[in-house]
Structure formats: structure tokens, C-alpha cells
Chains A and B, each alone.
Chain A
Amino acid sequence: MGKVIVITSGKGGVGKTTATANIGTGLAQTGKSVVLIDADIGLRNLDLVLGLENRIVFDLVDVVEKKCRTAKQALIKDKRNETLFLLPAAQSRDKDAVKPEQMKALCDELREQFDFVLIDCPAGIEGGFKNAIAGADEAVIVTNPEVSAVRDADRVIGLLEAEDKCSPSLIVNRIKPDMIRKGQMLSIADVQEILNVKLLGIVPEDEKILRASNRGEPAVLDKQSKAGQAYREVVQRLIDPVNAPAVVPPRTESFWARMRRVLGMGEEVARQA
């Protein structure tokens, strides 16, 4: 019996698709059988990030409309990993083409045959989001250390809790350690304190991510990539959460920030309404 995990964020552009591609590839590298579902109907991208855009025959809507006999028939096998498969989104339809019950049935069918089913959720909290989370057991929230991404993540966590999904875990993506040290970027501790969910991973900003998606090869395959390394750690935690827990790095501050604070010159934080 496989696990169904939805990767979601609320806000667009924070790295859901990249995270899905990297985690899926990383899991497959450890020998797990994995299927990735692109639930972003009308705006599909996961195929492109994985370099599988030329192999698409059937898509998610074909499967729920029973245009192919089984879900497995519609899956595209990855170029590099024998155990990784993609179910692409339909490009010419919209999000109403699928209903939550159909997604749930599909997830239940696929979990019988795979160790992991990862669902790449569309941005937003409307129909497409409801579809994507319908069949999932767990959720991974991707956010950036940036006010709008964190606020949207909080909203999504609230919605997931209302749906009684297993408590979500968090990936903070695109961090710049240098800016955090200077007090110019929300730290992991700040983000975690606000969202108050379990931390799954910290992924640094990395030019290699863009170069990897240019080529259609997830960065997790690149041993030199820092983001790739972070995703390999995420994969280890998903496989065995007990042995490799994610640690929130302690708040650090630069010499000047500390001097300002000690001398009472720090920026006033607006706390009350």
C-alpha cells in the first residue's frame, strides 16, 4: 500500500513543480516505485521539468474519463529511472474536467501499485486545489521566505486541517543564507514559528535548479547541486522520518544587527493591531 502525498503551496511560483520533480526522482533513485500526477490541468509543466514532454499520449482527464483502459496505461515512464512514472495534466481542458471523487478513486487505484503517489497541486485554493488534495493522505507545503508565500501557506494549512488531512510538513524553498544572516530575509525559525508545522526540508536558492529545468533533468541527480542535496535529504525523511529529522537552524544575527539590538536601535516590530 503506497502513500499519497500532495505537494501544495497556495501561492504560485514558489517551486511546487520543481519540488515534485525532485522528490519523485529522488525517491525513484532509492529504488522506490513512484508515480507523479500533474494536477495542474490547463497549465501543465511537470512533463517539461522532467524532460518527458514529447512522450505524452494520454493525460489525467483521459484517465478519469476512461479513454484508456487502466490508469497504468496512461503513465509515461521516466527516461532515467525505471521506477518513476508521470501522469501528465491535460493541457486543453480546465480544472472542472475532474471531480474530487474521481481523483480519490484514481489515487486509491495507483496506491495499490506504487510505493509513492505524488500530486503536483495547482496554485490557488479553488477547484484544482480541492481535486489535488482529495485523494491524498499527507501534504507537503512548499513556501518561500517571503511574506506573501508564507501567508498563503498558512491559509492552505488551515484548509488542509479543516479537511482533516494528516498534519502537513513544510519545505522552505529558495532561501539565501547570507540574507538571513543579515536580517534581510525571514529565517527558517521565523517561518516555522508562524506556520507551526513540522519541517521537512530547507532548500537554498541555487542557479542549478534553473539549469536543470532547462535540460529537463531534476537537480536532485546533480551531486554538486546544493538544492539537489537538500532534496536528497527530504527524500530520506519521507522514507524514514524517524532517522533523519529536519532541524530548524537557530536564529543567528550579524555583528551589526547584534550591535543595533544591544544598543536598542533595532527596528520596531509592529505587534498590535
Chain B
Amino acid sequence: MFNFWADFIQKLMRKDDSAQMAAGRLKGSVVLDRLSLSPATLDQIRNDVVRSISRYLIIDENAMTLAVQAEGRTVALAAQIPVVRQRDGGGEGMVVHETRELFRVDTAPAAEVGRRGGVMAIAEDPVEDSGEFLIRPDGSRSALSPEARARARALRRRRQSRRSGL
């Protein structure tokens, strides 16, 4: 009986699905080849992106990804940049959500960013009183999910109380 379970666990733990690794590594190198882009240049692009976004937002640089991805036989540059918060206070009403989902920049050109405080896409006229909504890469807007809004409100309350405490 013991042998059975030992065998079971061993088989379960054995990580030899190297085909998946091969596919992942290939996808990475093949798209760089297609652009004749060196990993070093991609690093430079990444650094430049970090520098320019960091003027406005504090981002989680370690969790950020910037990669070239194949779409058919063409290539897209895709970035995921988790935003921690906006730089420099931002004043009343500039809600910056600490929820990562909200600030994910997915497959540039445009961003999904919340209302007035948003930097990559700025909404002048909030669609509802709470003002929190998403601007999608195609420019369309949609209201936040109730959970995301609740998180944003909690965050704003926290921040306001912190500010009044100062």
C-alpha cells in the first residue's frame, strides 16, 4: 500500500513535460528573430517604457512584463504593467485604484485606467456619480464591476482618512 502511494506521488511530482518549455522558449525566440530584434534591444525598450510611465505612475517594475508575441505570422508588442498608485498625491477626486486588474495595460496602444486620475487615458466626464469606469483599448467605456468599485471606494476612504489624519 505504501509503495502504491509512493509511486503515485513520484509520478505526480515528476516534471518532465519539457515539450511545454520547448514551445514557450521557441515562441519567444522566433518572434524576436522575425523582427531581428535582440533581447538587449527589448530590454532597452522596456527600460524606456518604465522610465516614461514612472513619471506619472508608480508601477510594480518586477511584476511588469513586456514581450513580443506572435499573432499569426505577424508580431505584436504586449505589455502588462501593474500600477501601484499614482505619483504625487493627485488631490481630491483623483482616485487611483490599487487594484491591479484595473490598471493593467494590455496590448497597447491604449490603457484600461480609471477616471480623472488616469494618465494613459483620461476621462473628462464620468459616466456615473462614482465616476469609476474603464476605458478599453478601443476607447469604449464600461462601468466597473461591483467588487472593483467597492475596492476602489474602500481605498478612497482609507486615503481620505489618512489625509485628514495628517
Contact = CB atoms under 8 A, between A and B. Distances in A.
A273 B18 contact: no
A190 B46 CA distance: 28
A76 interface: no
Contacts of B70: 194, 196
B19 interface: yes
Interface stretch (B21-29, B91-99, B129-137, B158-166): B21-29
Contacts of B145: none
Contacts of B66: 272-273
Contact of A196 (B17, B19, B67, B73): B73
Nearest to B64: A272
B12 interface: yes
A267 interface: yes
A9 B64 CA distance: 36
Interface in A171-206: 179-180, 182-187, 190, 193-194, 196-197
Nearest to B45: A273
Interface in B45-82: 46, 65-68, 70, 72-73
B34 interface: yes
The interface centre, meaning the residue of A161, A190, A256, A273 with most chain B CB atoms within 10 A of its CB, is A273
B34 A154 contact: yes
* Size band of the interface chain B makes with A: 20 to 34
B17 A147 contact: no
A147 B18 CA distance: 11
B12 A265 contact: yes
A257 interface: yes
Contact of A183 (B11, B16, B30, B32): B16
A272 B70 CA distance: 12
A263 B12 CA distance: 9
A93 interface: no
Given A270-B25, A272-B67, A273-B42, A184 B19 contact: yes
Nearest to A270: B24
Contacts of B43: 273
A193 B34 CA distance: 15
B23 A194 contact: yes
A271 B65 contact: yes
Main secondary structure of the interface of B (DSSP, over half): helix
A159 to B, nearest CB: 11
B12 A154 contact: no
Given A183-B16, A183-B18, A186-B19, A272 B65 contact: yes
Contact of B18 (A184, A187, A259): A184
Nearest to A150: B26
A265 B13 contact: yes
A82 to B, nearest CB: 41
A150 B68 CA distance: 18
A183 B28 contact: no
B65 A194 contact: no
A158 B75 CA distance: 12
A269 interface: yes
A15 B16 CA distance: 27
The interface centre, meaning the residue of A157, A193, A269, A272 with most chain B CB atoms within 10 A of its CB, is A272
A127 to B, nearest CB: 21
B46 A260 contact: no
A147 B26 CA distance: 6
B126 interface: no
Contacts of A183: 16-20
B46 A273 contact: yes
B21 A267 contact: yes
Contact of A154 (B20, B23, B30): B30
Interface of B: 11-30, 32-34, 39, 42-43, 46, 65-68, 70, 72-73
Q: Which 4 A-B pairs have the closest CB atoms?
A: A183-B17, A269-B24, A272-B65, A272-B67
10 contacts: A147-B22, A147-B26, A194-B27, A257-B17, A266-B20, A267-B15, A270-B24, A271-B27, A273-B28, A273-B39
